[in-house]
Structure 1
Amino acid sequence: MRVLSFAPYRPGFVTARQVLIRYVRNDDLGPELDALNWLAGQAARIDAQGVALLTSRELHHYCTAAHGRARALATVGLGNAERIGRHRAAQGADYGTINIILRIDAALDQTAMLEAMTLIAEARTAAIMDAGLRLPDGAATGTGTDCIALACDAGDRVFTGKHTALGQMIGAAAYDAVLQGARDWIAEHGDRLD
């Protein structure tokens, strides 16, 4: 499939057989870790033919949602949650990220893929805000390390905006998967970060 992402392994527009999420413990994520080279080595070790993302959220916490032709999988860790345009001081080894993999059963061109990525990002932000995680300067809108990967067949479909049925499916699937993951994380850790 065609994949568009800003993943740490094989970002951009690529053709891939899979999209992987690699778990890394918080203790492994210190400043001495060259995460990009480490992840590339891990992918080479298993002969991965795809894109790879990193998470410190244990993988059994993943959440999925499907709406029509859109299927989303999200891992949601909020330990390093941020509010857009602000920066919260690091809180020790308290990492977390939101990873979203969304597969669309439709053939899109690059422009439609870019538009779909904006819908996924907006859905992520809405879900995190609706989940209600509070930071000192307001509601969290995401984390500093969020990553999105969108997979679809290559094609010539140009539009995937909010007014299209496909755009609505994309937004709903991403929103539902992230909202459930955020609610699960908040139930474990509380709804406020200092």
Structure 2
Amino acid sequence: MVDMKFTCARPWLSVELGSVHQVLSWTLNAPGFIETDRVVWREVRNSDLTPELDAHQWLLQELQRSNNAQAVAFLTSRNIDFHHYAEKSIEGEKVSCLVTAGLSNAERVGVRHGPQNRFGTINILVKTISHLSQAAMIELMSVVVQARTLAVLEADIKIGAHQQAATGTGTDCVAIASPLRGAAAPCIYAGLHTAIAEAAGVAVLSAMHEALTIWKKNHLNP
């Protein structure tokens, strides 16, 4: 059974979390820890992202117009029809993941290529069924970012004059959603040798591999 209820009607991809969750992200409109029951993606075209555009204000206006002002919002130039879902349960810890991914704006950590002529990003939403402490959410964020990076490395995208492997894009964003409360005390640890981190890693890798395989097929084949 899919643990997220999501609908896609371009230019919006909307996820109903089922109840108010604590969400940790670095999204433009709602960075840090906030409480919400909804996460959305807003698709934009490369031609929309002009140098004069104040993307933050534009996104806030779009959210207001669409009755999504309280949502955590990703901004992406990826065709959101290409969204990819995976979930994994390990030892009772169920984690679900929804991804959109494009690598037209690929970068390598430690090397700055600067703004590209085209835009692309990786946006990842991870939802747990367990109630997590804020510390555990931060730790799980690090696991999700590791999984994202591993998937990009395995996609073997070469960039720059020296054709080095990309590790992400210049505009990636991640959101972690955890129920506000649970039947038990909150999980306070989410390191790599915990069930919840393993489940998150499997779910993110699965969704990312599918997303990047399709992106490469559509964008890199002659």
Query: TM-score w.r.t. structure 2 length?
Result: 0.83
Q: Are residue 143 (structure 1) and residue 169 (structure 2) matched?
A: yes
Q: How does 1:77-156 map to 2 (within 5 A)?
A: 77-92=102-117, 94-136=118-160, 137=162, 138-155=164-181, 156=186
SS, match of residue 193 in structure 2: coil
Deviation at 1:80, TM superposition (A): 0.6
Per-residue CA deviations over 1:153-181 (Å, capped at 9, x if unaligned) read 13521011110111100111111111211
Q: Which protein, 1 or 2, shows the higher relative CO under an 8 Å CA cutoff with sep ≥ 6? A: 1
Query: What's the CA shift for 1:47?
Result: 2.2
Equivalent residue for 1:67, pick from 88, 92, 102: 88
How far the C-alpha of 1:183 sits from its partner, in A, is: 1.3
**Could you tell me whether the CA contact under 8 Å between 1:109 and 1:154 is conserved in 2?**
no
- Identity among equivalent positions (%) equals 39
How many residues get paired?
190
Q: Residue 3 of structure 2 aligns with which residue? A: none
Partner AA of 2:72 in structure 1:
V
Distance (Å, rounded) in 2 between the aligned partners of 1:81 and 1:154: 35
CA distance in 2, matches of 1:26, 1:51: 22
Residue 167 of structure 1 aligns with an amino acid whose one-letter code is A
Answering whether residue 36 of structure 2 is matched by residue 10 of structure 1, we say no
On the 8 A contact 1:9/1:36 being kept in 2, the answer is yes
Distance between the aligned counterparts of 1:5 and 1:90, measured in 2? 22
Q: Hey, which bits of structure 1, 4+ residues long, moved more than 4 A?
A: none
Deviation at 1:89, TM superposition (A): 4.3
Q: CA deviation at 1:10?
A: 1.1
CA RMSD of aligned residues (A): 1.2
The 3-state SS of whatever aligns with 2:81 is helix
| Separation of aligned partners in 2, 1:169 and 1:182 | 20
Q: Using the TM superposition, name which of 14-23 and 45-54 deviates more.
A: 45-54
Contact 1:65 1:176 in 2 (8 A): yes
CA positional deviation for 1:35: 0.6
Deviations 1:84-106, CA, capped at 9 Å, x for gaps: 011124442x1100000111111
Counterpart position of 2:6: none
d(CA) in 2 for partners of 1:50, 1:89: 30
Task: Find the aligned partners of 2:32 and 2:115 in 1 and give their Cα distance.
Answer: 28
